[in-house]
C-alpha cells in the first residue's frame, strides 16, 4: 500500500494500464501541500511523471493527507472537492477522468 504522495507518484508509470491511456492526451499537476508538486503527462499510451511545478491543463491542489485518503479509497474525490479539501484549477473535465486513469 502506498504510504506517501512521493511513493504514489513514483509508482504511477508502472501501475497505469496502457489501454486506459491510449486515447488520452492531457497534462496534470498535483500540488500536494507539504509534499511537493508533480507533473503528470498522459499521451500516446503512456504516462510520464516528473517532480515539477510546470504548467498543466489541470491542476489539483490538496494536502498529502487528503490525497492519500483518496488514493487508498478512504475518501471520495468528489466529496473532497465539494468540501474544499481538494481544489481544481484549469480543465475540470480532465479532473473527472483521473479516477479511470490513476486511481
What is the per-residue pLDDT for 1? Answer: 65
For residue 35, the domain's CATH number is 3.30.1050.10
What is the per-residue pLDDT for 103? Answer: 60
Record the pTM: 0.91
What pLDDT tens digit does each residue of the chain (103 aa) get?
Answer: 678 999 999 998 888 888 878 888 899 999 999 899 999 999 888 899 999 999 999 999 999 999 999 999 999 999 999 999 999 999 999 998 887 766 6
How far apart, in whole angstroms, are the C-alpha atoms of residue 42 and residue 57?
11
How far apart, in whole angstroms, are the C-alpha atoms of residue 30 and residue 89?
10
Could you tell me the CA-to-CA distances from 5 to 33, 43, 44, 73, 102 in Å, in that order? 10, 22, 25, 14, 13
Could you tell me the CA-to-CA distances from 88 to 19, 51, 61, 81, 91 in Å, in that order? 26, 19, 6, 8, 8
Grid cell, residue 31, equals: 500540488
Give the chain's domain count: 1
Domain residues for 35? Answer: 5-102
How far apart, in whole angstroms, are the C-alpha atoms of residue 41 and residue 48?
5
Amino acid at each position: 500500500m502506498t504510504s506517501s504522495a512521493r511513493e504514489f507518484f513514483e509508482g504511477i508509470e508502472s501501475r497505469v494500464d496502457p489501454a486506459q491511456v491510449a486515447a488520452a492526451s492531457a497534462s496534470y499537476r498535483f500540488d500536494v501541500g507539504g509534499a511537493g508538486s508533480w507533473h503528470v503527462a498522459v499521451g500516446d499510451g503512456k504516462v510520464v511523471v516528473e517532480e515539477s511545478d510546470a504548467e498543466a491543463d489541470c491542476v489539483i491542489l490538496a494536502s498529502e493527507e487528503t490525497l492519500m485518503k483518496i488514493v487508498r479509497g478512504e475518501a471520495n474525490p468528489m466529496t473532497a472537492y465539494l468540501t474544499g479539501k481538494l481544489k481544481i484549477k484549469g480543465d475540470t473535465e480532465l479532473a473527472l477522468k483521473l479516477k479511470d486513469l490513476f486511481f
